[in-house]
Chains A and B, each alone.
Chain A
């Protein structure tokens, strides 16, 4: 959480930082530069720069000339010799600033999303925390809300295994349709919007894999502790390419493009009859036919021919289930 941010800050972000640093320094009374940097998740130099600015800031005063008594002041010897910050005189502000309506709303909606986590389900403390954020905002938080999605019971079991460092066994049917019992060392629970995944070292495959939680069944937390995986590469993203991936050219309506973002092979788009022609990269045709059939009328496969045929075959097989029921429009 306290990883240093590397993006250059906007002036408004720098202002918030200055207004937040002052009350922190006053509260701490004496603080080392590296401690302050760690607390705010910034570099030591960013703290020093901000302290120099604060130490020379203040009020124009009665004469409008920023006289010393109207300025902040620090113990300059301690600062320059020992990298220690001590504010010896302060003006105007000494307390934490309120949150803006949008800032409070962003955290509240994030908390609502987290309420899907098993340990937060129906948690009273989460509600109390949201009320505190509302009270700490300068205006009623913007009305953005994320409803807690009913948490899959499997998630609680997985969480237990992750927290206890225990191996986990479950039946898994992968995207290609192959089913089997897996034994894994659970590493991390990931989510993307409404979908939950377990990132785990799979003893069956001897590799780190992502498992969709909604494809797991028969979960059992084992007594065996998980192995060390310090050397294993734990990818930070959900979708990783592989050498067996194949490319498919599709035409999509512009609105559907964000829904294909995970699969785009490159950033090239070409306008064709009001649609956008893009190349997708997928692991297998099983994924493609489900993807395209789930975006009916929005995405059409152009090539290769086998991919088009696979999609047509999938939809036709689905249609066959309704044969003889076409009474209403025929």
Chain B
């Protein structure tokens, strides 16, 4: 008689999908009041239990649990660690739980159909992949309230792109309160300089993204233009900082506004030109007959780039520094495109 070869099922039979394991973990941690020990989680919760080795070889499973914890917290789910009062500092007696009161959307946070329509449009604004994904997740959560949004706002397709590579790493750094390092090209300096900063806020002002941060070298607050960050933004390992005061982003915008109002440029624009129409829309004062307009600006180098694009359609009257900056730019462009210039 031929011995039958036992057909062994792969351990744990069918593999439990990741979302099933994460869902089971959240349910288990919300349901517990006192918290669960790691050993309890790994030996009983679906997705872990199938692979749990009662003999104690669970290093892979423990690493899996660490990653899952991070992923769950990343979604805004308040996964807590509670130390045992009898055995402080003992990792094996740590308990894990998700306090229901902090998990749920507060009762006061409810939205009208009009508000949901507006939030839908706000989520559509983002063209940048990771922010767009965050917006869509937020909408999914709000849909659980069961309110049908009013019909989408028609006739609008507002879009906000983020073209600065530094945006996403800085957004992560804000979230983790993580010190970062990057090379920054300040106008007037010969080459980019390495800066080490604690990022406090990232704000869009006048169409440009700005980083407000504490410069560690001088221990002072500075505002940087993301477009002037050269190369990669690196996280400084092990260096974090305390949360900046709430509403700091609004203060930064107010400061940039004040800076804008303090800077005044007087420009001569050619009648009937693109410059006259487009810059004229931003003028705070103007003498149409003389073809002179006055406007405010935040950053001289940024405005100089913009004015250079208008070529002969605009001439800077004041201030002198702006006039020189535009002239230098035009000269640079002219020389680079002169016949015989290096291509």
Contacts and interface: CB of A to CB of B under 8 A. Distances in A.
Contact of B163 (A98, A261, A320): A261
Interface in A221-238: none
A132 B323 contact: no
A92 B140 CA distance: 20
B171 A142 contact: yes
Given A142-B171, A152-B281, A290 B135 contact: no
Interface residues of A, number: 126
Contacts of A104: 138
Specify which of A60, A99, A143 lies most central, judged by the most chain B CB atoms within 10 Å of its CB: A143
A113 interface: yes
Interface in A101-160: 101-107, 109-114, 117, 125-126, 129, 132-133, 135-140, 142-147, 149, 152, 154, 159
Contacts of A147: 203-206, 253, 256-257
Interface residues of B, number: 125
Interface string B169-187: 0010011000000000000
B265 interface: no
Contact of A146 (B20, B204, B306): B204
B336 to A, nearest CB: 5
Contacts of B142: 96, 99
Given A60-B46, A103-B137, A138-B102, A293 B308 contact: yes
A319 B334 contact: yes
A14 interface: yes
B259 interface: no
A135 B333 contact: no
Nearest to A307: B337
A30 interface: no
A324 B157 CA distance: 48
B343 A251 contact: yes
A154 B337 CA distance: 38
B308 A142 contact: no
B319 interface: no
B118 A191 contact: no
Given A295-B305, A296-B329, A300-B337, A11 B19 contact: yes
B260 to A, nearest CB: 10
A224 B313 CA distance: 37
Nearest to B248: A143
A107 B164 CA distance: 20
Given A28-B146, A290-B309, A322-B327, A103 B135 contact: yes
Given A135-B109, A136-B109, A189 B155 contact: yes
A47 interface: no
Contacts of B201: 143-145
B31 A92 contact: yes
B71 interface: yes
A75 interface: no
Contacts of A214: 277-278, 281
A72 to B, nearest CB: 9
A316 B334 contact: yes
Contact of A325 (B141, B171, B274, B323): B323
Nearest to B324: A328
A279 to B, nearest CB: 15
Given A114-B121, A135-B109, A145 B309 contact: no
A322 B323 contact: yes
B27 A317 contact: no
Given A96-B105, A113-B204, A12 B249 contact: no
Nearest to B36: A60
29 contacts: A1-B152, A15-B26, A15-B75, A22-B144, A23-B146, A24-B146, A39-B148, A53-B19, A60-B44, A60-B45, A60-B46, A64-B44, A91-B31, A92-B30, A96-B142, A103-B135, A106-B135, A109-B204, A113-B122, A143-B249, A145-B249, A159-B155, A163-B155, A173-B277, A190-B157, A290-B274, A294-B309, A312-B338, A317-B312
Complex A-B, nearest 10 residue pairs according to Cβ-Cβ distance, in ascending order: A100-B76, A294-B309, A194-B207, A110-B122, A64-B44, A103-B138, A296-B329, A60-B44, A20-B144, A315-B334
Interface of B: 17-20, 22-24, 26-28, 30-31, 40, 43-46, 49, 71-72, 74-78, 102-106, 108-109, 111, 115, 117-126, 131-138, 140-146, 148-149, 152, 155-161, 163-165, 171, 174-175, 200-207, 227, 230, 243-244, 246, 248-250, 252-253, 256-257, 272-274, 277-278, 281, 305-306, 308-312, 315, 320, 323-324, 326-327, 329-334, 336-339, 343
Given A16-B141, A95-B105, A296-B333, 15 more contacts: A11-B22, A19-B23, A39-B143, A53-B20, A92-B30, A96-B145, A97-B141, A113-B160, A147-B205, A290-B274, A312-B338, A315-B331, A318-B330, A319-B330, A321-B315
